[in-house]
Amino acid sequence: MLYRVIDSQELPALVEAFMEDYEVIAPVESGASYAFEKVTSFDEIKLDYPTTITSCKKYVLPPRETLFKFDALNNEVTDFTVKVTPRVIFGAHACDINALNSLDMVFEDSRYRDPYYEARRGATLIIGISCTPTESCFCHLMEADEARTGYDLFLQDIGGRYLVSIGSVTAANVLESACNPREATDEDRIAFRQATRKRQESFNEEIPDVQEIAMLMDAFHSDPFWDELGSRCLACTACSSVCPTCFCFDIADTLGPDGKTGRRERIWDACTSPQFAMVTGGHNFRDSNRNRVRHRMYHKLNGFLATHDRMLCTGCGRCVRACKAHISPIEVLKFFEEKGA
Ligand code: SF4
Ligand code: SF4
């Protein structure tokens, strides 16, 4: 990995240089919170944001997208070409970069490559930035508090300047042309170490680290704990909507007004939705809130780990804030901490 240092005052020039060739998406104020939105000026960007309501997932996996169009009368299909906008996502936290890395594992799996996702992801540069954990962040427990891959540049704030990790030649060239990057000194490296330690010490210590969570979930698959969670779940699907790693989708065919032509769409879906597991004939193989909430937690903390060697949760804490019933991986971790004690 190549490292350089730039001064904080150089950031506007860096963003403006990206704006010459890319649409720039960055965290901005949105009501009482923050959101990733298109920006046209550096002044709109809030780089010291705690977190955003939703992640930048929608820029690589839109909530609704057309896969192809069809003519039902003549039995013809028109391939849909993805209209890709070259983008820079500027200011993604490490957890969200790790979430994109997990989505890559799913949608860029060589066995089932997804051309729609790949086209968008391939046209997107990721510029990460260091952060300070909020009280609902637990990315360090999910090994997602540092991004080792998946970014083009990563900016670590080391006080008045940034230690920049360079992940791609394209971004390095923009950095070189817009700023005056210099070699890191010993003083910079010490400042980096101090900033990293300070962040690590900022995590909420009340969120337990349960190393054997996956095994415990298997052992307590029928525990009344899941009934209790299910009895509280409102099936609102807010948890999946805000989650940077949830990727379930539905496929729907929509006919136009002529009743002959239409389009096939991919639409975000959620495993906490009552209809999610309903199949033809009306059978629902996950027919209770208990089963649906349990399934979601299992996929996050157990199932994905078994197949991809990592949790499908980055500990971003978004669902902790979104769930009106106070159901989240943190509650699951706390329950299993007691079980394992
Ligand atoms: S777990 Fe919470 S956010 Fe998710 S569907 Fe149930 S009530 Fe809604
Ligand atoms: S399950 Fe919750 S904490 Fe984990 S990645 Fe999804 S929104 Fe973030």
How confident is the model over 12-53, as pLDDT tens digits?
Answer: 999 999 999 999 999 999 999 999 999 999 999 999 999 999
CA of 134 to the centre of ligand 1 (A): 21
Q: What is the chain's length?
A: 341
Q: Is there a domain that residue 186 lies in?
A: yes
Q: Are residues 190 and 230 in the same domain?
A: no
* Atom number of ligand 1 nearest to Cα 235: 5
* Atom number of ligand 1 nearest to Cα 240: 4
Ligand 1 proximity of 328 Cβ (cutoff 6 Å): no
Q: Are residues 183 and 272 in the same domain?
A: no
Say if residues 2 and 166 touch (Cβ distance below 8 Å): yes
Query: If you take atom 4 of ligand 2, which residue's CA is the nearest one?
Result: 313
* Atom number of ligand 1 nearest to Cα 229: 1
Range of the structural domain that residue 287 is part of: 213-340
Domain boundary among 170, 200, 230: 200
Q: Are residues 161 and 217 in the same domain?
A: no
Q: Are residues 218 and 196 in the same domain?
A: no
* Atom number of ligand 2 nearest to Cα 320: 2
Ligand 1 proximity of 105 Cβ (cutoff 6 Å): no
- pLDDT by residue (tens digit) across 94-114? 999 999 999 999 999 999 999
CA of 149 to the centre of ligand 2 (A): 20
Let me know if 72 is exposed, middle or buried by CB neighbors in 10 A (0-12, 13-18, 19+). Answer: middle
Secondary structure (DSSP) of 277-321: TB-TTS-BSS-SHHHHHHHHHHIIIIIHHHHHSS-S-----HHHH
Q: Is there a domain that residue 86 lies in?
A: yes
Specify the DSSP class assigned to residue 264.
Answer: E
Ligand 1 proximity of 295 Cβ (cutoff 6 Å): no
Q: Are residues 246 and 157 in the same domain?
A: no
The predicted pLDDT at position 341 comes to 60
Q: Is there a domain that residue 192 lies in?
A: yes
Provide the number of structural domains found in the chain.
Answer: 2
Q: Are residues 320 and 193 in the same domain?
A: no
CA distances from 126 to 233, 311, 318, 336 (A): 35, 22, 20, 35
Q: Is there a domain that residue 206 lies in?
A: no
Q: For residue 42, which of 8, 12, 13 has the smallest C-alpha distance?
A: 12
Domain boundary among 200, 223, 241: 200
As a whole number, the mean pLDDT across the chain is 96
Share of the chain above pLDDT 70, in %: 99
Domain boundary among 200, 221, 255: 200
Question: Which of 229, 272, 330, when mutated, tests ligand 1's pocket best, judged by the most ligand atoms within 8 Å of its CB?
Answer: 272
Question: Which of 53, 54, 229, 239, when mutated, tests ligand 1's pocket best, judged by the most ligand atoms within 8 Å of its CB?
Answer: 239
The predicted pLDDT at position 340 comes to 63
Q: Are residues 13 and 160 in the same domain?
A: yes
Q: Which ligand is nearest to the CA of 55?
A: 2
Does residue 81 have a pLDDT over 90? no
Q: Is there a domain that residue 123 lies in?
A: yes
How crowded is the C-beta side of 315, counted as CA atoms within 13 Å? 23
Does residue 83 have a pLDDT over 90? no
β 153-157/124-129 pair status = parallel
Q: Are residues 156 and 219 in the same domain?
A: no
How crowded is the C-beta side of 41, counted as CA atoms within 13 Å? 2
| CA 235 to the chain's CA centroid | 21
Q: Are residues 218 and 136 in the same domain?
A: no
Q: Are residues 146 and 238 in the same domain?
A: no
Query: If you take atom 2 of ligand 1, which residue's CA is the nearest one?
Result: 323
Q: Are residues 135 and 220 in the same domain?
A: no
Q: Are residues 245 and 192 in the same domain?
A: no
